[in-house]
Amino acid sequence: MNEKSLPNGPDALYQHYLSEGRLMIQKCDACGRHGFAPRVLCKYCGSGRLNWVAPSGRGHIYSATVMRRKPEAGGDYLYALVELEEGVRLISTVVGTAPHEVAIGSPVISQIERSDNGPRIVFKMAGGAQ
Amino acid sequence: MSADLRSKAAIAGVGLYGLGEAPGETHLEIMARAVNSALDEAGLSLRDVDGLFTSNMNNLLAGVSVAEYLGIVPKFTDATNFGGSAFVAFLQSATMAIASGMCDVALICYGSNQRTASGKLVSPVEPQPYEAPYGPRNPISAYALATARHMYQYGTTREQLAEVAVSMREWAKLNPDAFKRDPLSVEEVLNARMIADPLSVLDCCLVTDGGGAVVLVSPERAKSLPKTPVYMRGVGVAHTHKSIMEMPDLTVSPAAISGPRAFAMAGVGPQDIDIVELYDAFTINPILFMEDLGFCEKGKGGTFFSEGHSRPGGRLPVNTNGGGLSCAHPGMYGIFTIIEAVQQLRGEAGARQVRDCGIALVHGNGGTLASQATAILALER
């Protein structure tokens, strides 16, 4: 990939990686912690030495709620807070499992979902037959 | 040293207007009527006001718009929008302004017509790129996440959350100004329409109109004014995040920081508090705040409410006006915690009066558990 074509800002870089089908998060060279949402300065130590790394994609459901919605509008859906192995949390949803069946603590694995609204990170339940 | 602000200001007047429905009135009109009420009982007028402390969800430059409407050119203005906790946080800057001599008469004020204007909670619209793709409903999605995590970690139940709502209603029954006063049972809350599990519509605060105002002056000046002074003994403000995604621990709010700051300034502890007035945006809030403020152990907030301690006759009354869940909630509730506490301390609370009430804790919440402000108000300086 042509380095010159990468966007400048962390926010835009995140979206750029996403559009390439990659979940990338920042890791601080100074304190070693991973952080999310993307920033210019590490939210833990204030250093500007932030690099982009590919997380394992594994995490667990830290919390979740079922957003109630009429069937004709699409039906109930899951709004979840997933904690990745690396210690960062992101808002997401779970695909392939009914919203009421997703329990807090469940292991999940990330994937990129593409739609007319653009790419987004989603998760599917991990463990058992894939 | 934070203790330098202890009792450096006193509340000389409070005013309420339009709690519930105020059709045909703008948010500034509702606010101004409350302002008039507060200044009137303080024996002061708008010409005396030289410090303005205000925020709202209608005006981008709230301090500037409100000053224009009231016709004042303040020496000191604070219009920091912390969300609903702003008005309790204003006790900090107002006391600093008075103590430093930057202003003599501080006016904290708020008004909203969200119910009759739109019927919905008025929230500012800004891009939320890391949340929007997943269809949040603000702010209930975030509060539902916090509630679900508290249930997972501490075994808090929907019944306990319902007991919070029922407790608020018990107080509202004693308050003629409360919007919802009909009986409420735990069963009704459990059977109410779900919005974002585990929160039902009865786990959510009301959407009403309403305005409030609070006038602060120096303790010396307060003694010369008509109403019994209520001293600003201590205040603390803290915010740890904006998005629930970045909240360090979903079961611990920044009240765990603002509370100790306020208690330290006041020189008292949770055991000294007679009544608690806090921002109950959802039924999880009182549970979290009673824990974080030190009234019960972390994780035991649900038990505190299910054992009935917060109700009329209980050992620690909470939200003696019925709170945001049953009294009123015009978008930003913080100022109403102060006004109710003052009325209780002065012995003006009528049927809902708590006996021997000398020290109150007021607590405001802003955003999605994001910004918290705690203050200790007392009859003794």
DSSP-derived secondary structure letter, B170: H
Q: Which amino acid is located at A40 in the chain?
A: V
> Above 90 in pLDDT, residue A5?
no
- The pLDDT assigned to B304 comes to 98
Beta bridge partners of B112: B210
State the pLDDT confidence band at B1, using cuts at 50, 70 and 90: low
pLDDT in tens, A47-64: 999 999 999 999 999 999
> Above 80 in pLDDT, residue A129?
no
- The pLDDT assigned to A79 comes to 98
Q: Region B10-14: what's the mean pLDDT?
A: 98
Among chain A, residues having any CB pair with chain B shorter than 8 Å are: 11, 15, 36-37, 43, 62-68, 77, 79-81, 89-93, 100, 104-105, 117-118, 120
Q: What's the longest Cα–Cα distance across chain B?
A: 58
Residue B110 three-state SS: strand
Which pair of structure tokens corresponds to residue A37?
Answer: 């949402």
Question: What torsion, rounded to 10 degrees, do the Cα atoms B166, B186, B198, B112 define?
Answer: -30
Task: Give the whole-angstrom CA distance, residue B124 versus residue B49.
Answer: 29
Q: Region A87-112: what's the mean pLDDT?
A: 98
Judge contact between B311 and B171, C-beta under 8 A.
yes
Task: Give the whole-angstrom CA distance, residue A107 versus residue A103.
Answer: 9
B130, B144, B152 member nearest A91 (Cβ): B130
Q: Region B288-292: what's the mean pLDDT?
A: 98
ipTM score of the complex? 0.95
B131, B149, B245 member nearest A104 (Cβ): B149
- The pLDDT assigned to A81 comes to 98
Select from B197, B239, B249 the residue whose CB has the most chain A CBs within 10 Å, as the one to mutate to test that interface: B197
CB contact under 8 A, B136 and A91: yes
Q: Region B120-149: what's the mean pLDDT?
A: 91
**Set of chain B residues whose Cβ sits within 8 Å of the Cβ of A43:** 246
> Above 80 in pLDDT, residue A3?
no
Question: What torsion, rounded to 10 degrees, do the Cα atoms A33, A38, A41, A47 define?
Answer: 30
Task: Give the whole-angstrom CA distance, residue A108 versus residue B287.
Answer: 30
Q: How far is CA B327 from the centre of its chain?
A: 12
Task: Give the whole-angstrom CA distance, residue B327 versus residue B25.
Answer: 20
Q: How far is A128 from chain B (nearest CA, A)?
A: 23
Q: Nearest-CA residue of chain A relative to B136?
A: A79
Q: Region B23-46: what's the mean pLDDT?
A: 97
Q: Region B6-31: what's the mean pLDDT?
A: 97
> Chain B 129-148, CB below 8 Å of chain A: which residues?
129-131, 133-137, 141, 144-148
Q: Which amino acid is located at A25 in the chain?
A: I
Task: Give the whole-angstrom CA distance, residue B234 versus residue A111.
Answer: 50
Average pLDDT, chain B: 96
pLDDT in tens, B74-125: 999 999 999 999 999 999 999 999 999 999 999 999 999 999 988 887 776 7
Task: Give the whole-angstrom CA distance, residue A60 versus residue A67.
Answer: 19
> Chain B 225-244, CB below 8 Å of chain A: which residues?
243-244
Q: How far, CA to CA in Å, does A118 sit from each of A16, A121, B69, B218?
A: 11, 10, 45, 57
**Set of chain B residues whose Cβ sits within 8 Å of the Cβ of A77:** 135
CB contact under 8 A, A89 and B245: yes
- The pLDDT assigned to B152 comes to 98
pLDDT in tens, B173-208: 999 999 999 999 999 999 999 999 999 999 999 999
State the pLDDT confidence band at A130, using cuts at 50, 70 and 90: very low
- The pLDDT assigned to B334 comes to 95
Q: Of B109-118, B166-175, B213-222, B348-357, which gets the smallest average pLDDT?
A: B109-118
For residue B164, give every residue at least 6 positions away whose Cβ sits within 8 Å of its Cβ, in sequence order, or none: B280, B283, B286, B287, B305, B310, B325
> Above 70 in pLDDT, residue B70?
yes
Find, among A64, A95, A74, the residue nearest to B197 by Cα: A64
Q: Which amino acid is located at A11 in the chain?
A: D
Task: Give the whole-angstrom CA distance, residue B29 versus residue B18.
Answer: 10
Q: Region B126-136: what's the mean pLDDT?
A: 93
Task: Give the whole-angstrom CA distance, residue A95 versus residue A80.
Answer: 11
